[in-house]
């Protein structure tokens, strides 16, 4: 089995936490180079790793089959297209691009190159989302009529970093996760009504959003607030057969930041189960055990796709659908109106 050589563009939070550890743990993958302006930061965690001073230098290196784009948002499409044009497979961190036109350019470049282009939507493998998929697949909630998905925080002080000043703010930071999960469950909506705002003192970009996705007979609410002292609510899902309420965020990210590594005992275990209330007997509530979170499943599936042994875990066409919803949300908020997709 040919080892897949991997080059990583960027060594911020995404590169350090979500990419490098999982590439190193994945069977048949080898991280061979990182693009970074700070070699010391890379070598502190990856001793001996080759550090490229530029994207062009990385693309000129031999043995690089897959390029992970984890650079600042506005460079995602540019770096993805450059890597595809150099004959590399490409994984793009979220957001896939900062506008739909750039996202389409990247997809067209992948089609011309005949290479795999995928989006990093690791939250499909969150413990709570896997549990919700199991419940909906079993029909435990009946026909879903109200879906509510929260990524709330208590972060009253705005950090001095580019991510908190990014174009689109948290809608293009956390929004891609919430939109992607909704589309996995329900498909592309008919329309979106979004309100996006900056509510923290001195916030240079939006840090709050409330978006309603319109589906026939159902509404999906996507919400994020960085001034929520009580930020426990994750999902509130109501259907004709019952309701499922889940508190607490998936534990994989904080565990890896704290030093855990893929394969460690306990990684992916969510200790806060959701509660299922039956419509037939609402006085009885069932504590629902969580599935185990498993970000490594994305990497396993990606490796198989690159070897021609399985499908792309997040096809580029799905990334385009997510980008279309995100862009429509920006238009909706700017114009104060519902936007059809």
User: Each residue of 162-202: pLDDT tens digit?
Assistant: 878 888 999 999 999 999 999 999 999 999 999 999 999 99
d(CA 50, CA 28): 19
Compute the distance between CA of residue 290 and CA of residue 252 in angstroms, rounded to an integer.
14
Q: How far is CA 29 from CA 240, 298, 299, in A?
A: 45, 13, 9
The CA distance from 250 to 125, in Å, is 9
Q: Is 97 exposed, middle or buried (0-12, 13-18, 19+ CB in 10 A)?
A: buried
Measured between alpha carbons, how far is residue 140 from residues 132, 144, 234, 285 in Å? 10, 10, 19, 13
Output DSSP code: residue 66.
E
pLDDT of 271 above 90: yes
* Percent of the residues in the chain that have a pLDDT greater than 70, as a whole number: 100
Residues sharing a CB contact under 8 Å with residue 129, sequence separation 6 or more, in sequence order: 123, 181, 250
Confidence at residue 132, expressed as pLDDT on a 0 to 100 scale = 98
Q: pLDDT of 5-21, one tens digit each?
A: 999 999 999 999 999 99
Helix (H), strand (E) at residue 79:
helix 76-85
Mean pLDDT of 275-283: 95
> How do residues 49-63 score in pLDDT, each as one tens digit?
999 999 999 999 999
Q: pLDDT value at position 2? A: 87
Residue-range domains of the chain with CATH: 4-120 (3.40.50.720), 123-294+325-340 (3.30.360.10)
| CB neighbour list of residue 10: distance below 8 Å, 6 or more residues apart | 35, 36, 69, 70, 71, 72, 93
- Alpha-carbon distance of 294 to 268, in angstroms, equals 6
> Which residue from 324, 315, 307, 306 is spatially nearest to 121, judged by alpha carbons?
315
- Tell me how far apart the alpha carbons of residues 61 and 230 are, in angstroms, rounded to a whole number: 48
pTM of the model: 0.96
Q: Name the average pLDDT for the chain.
A: 96
User: Tell me, what's the pLDDT at 164?
Assistant: 84
Amino acid 1: pLDDT: 59
210-267 confidence digits (pLDDT tens): 999 999 999 999 999 999 999 999 999 999 999 999 999 999 999 999 999 999 999 9
Using DSSP, state whether 155 is helix, strand or coil: coil
Taking the C-alpha atoms of residue 167 and residue 179, their distance in angstroms, rounded to an integer, is: 17
Q: Which residue has the tokens 């309420």?
A: 245
Give the pLDDT of residue 229.
98
Predicted pLDDT of residue 165: 87
Q: Encode pLDDT of 287-300 as tens digits.
A: 999 999 999 999 99
Query: pLDDT of 97-110, one tens digit each?
Result: 999 999 999 999 99
Give dist(CA 127, CA 115) in Å, integer: 31
pLDDT of residue 163: 79
Indicate the pLDDT class of residue 161, thresholds 50, 70 and 90: confident
């Amino acid at each position: 089995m040919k080892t897949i050589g991997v080059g990583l563009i960027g060594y911020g939070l995404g590169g350090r936490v979500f990419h490098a550890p999982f590439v190193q743990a994945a069977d048949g993958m080898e991280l061979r180079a990182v693009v970074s302006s700070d070699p010391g930061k890379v070598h502190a965690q990856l001793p001996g790793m080759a550090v490229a001073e530029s994207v062009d230098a990385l693309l000129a290196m031999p043995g690089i089959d897959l390029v992970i784009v984890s650079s600042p948002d506005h460079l995602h499409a540019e770096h993805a297209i450059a890597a595809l044009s150099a004959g590399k497979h490409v994984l793009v961190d979220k957001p896939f691009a900062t506008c739909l036109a750039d996202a389409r350019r990247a997809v067209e470049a992948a089609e011309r190159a005949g290479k795999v282009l995928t989006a990093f939507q690791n939250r499909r493998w969150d413990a709570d989302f896997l549990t919700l998929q199991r419940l909906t697949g079993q029909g435990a909630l009946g026909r879903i009529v109200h879906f509510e998905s929260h990524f709330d925080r208590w972060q009253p002080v705005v950090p001095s970093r580019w991510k908190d000043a990014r174009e689109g703010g948290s809608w293009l930071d956390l929004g891609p996760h919430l939109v992607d999960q909704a589309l996995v469950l329900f498909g592309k909506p008919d329309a979106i009504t979004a309100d996006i705002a900056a509510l923290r003192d001195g916030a240079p970009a939006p840090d709050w959003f409330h978006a309603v996705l319109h589906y026939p007979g159902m509404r999906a609410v996507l919400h994020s607030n960085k001034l929520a002292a009580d930020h426990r609510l994750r999902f509130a899902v109501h259907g004709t057969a019952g309701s499922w309420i889940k508190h607490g965020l998936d534990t994989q990210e904080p565990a890896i930041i704290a030093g855990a590594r893929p394969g460690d005992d306990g990684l992916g275990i969510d200790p806060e189960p959701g509660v299922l209330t039956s419509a037939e007997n609402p006085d009885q509530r069932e504590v629902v055990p969580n599935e185990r979170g498993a970000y490594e499943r994305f990497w396993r599936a990606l490796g198989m796709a690159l070897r021609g042994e399985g499908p792309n875990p997040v096809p580029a066409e799905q990334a385009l659908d997510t980008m279309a919803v995100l862009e429509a949300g920006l238009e909706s908020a700017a114009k104060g109106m519902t936007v059809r997709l």
